[in-house]
Amino acid sequence: MSLYQMQKFLFDINRDDGLQQQFRADMSAVLDRYRLDGEERRAIETGDVGLIYVLGANGQLLMHYAAYLGMPWADYIAAMRVGVARHGPVRAGVYAMTTRLDERVADV
């Protein structure tokens, strides 16, 4: 569990256009710079926003990363619910889900 490193990656890529380009060109080389465990690395490699959420990434970091990935708002919200359904409750941080899996808050 290296949540800090995973969040550092999200922080860096969200604010650095150059890193975003490098990431698109060579994902592995960028991820090698962070001490991620296997689950964290896989979550990023596969664009599994739901798993990143469950691993405890701060929502503000993840929201902007999802936007960078090009996810429409409804898809991003849905991905987090899918993450909880597949992987269980959020494991760390202060962004836990408090609504039911079948609840559509704000009709999303």
Q: Considering the complex, what minimum distance in angstroms separates the CB of residue 42 from another protein?
A: 22
Output 14 or 22, the one with its CB closest to another protein. 14
Cβ atoms of 55 and 84 within 8 Å: the answer is no
Counting contacts by CB under 8 A, is residue 63 touching another protein?
Answer: yes
Report the C-alpha gap between 21 and 13 in whole angstroms.
Answer: 9
Q: Which of 8, 78, 72 is nearest to 50 (CA)?
A: 78
Binding site for another protein (CB under 8 A): 4, 7-8, 10-11, 14-15, 53, 58-64, 67-68, 73, 77, 80-81, 84, 94-99, 103, 105-108
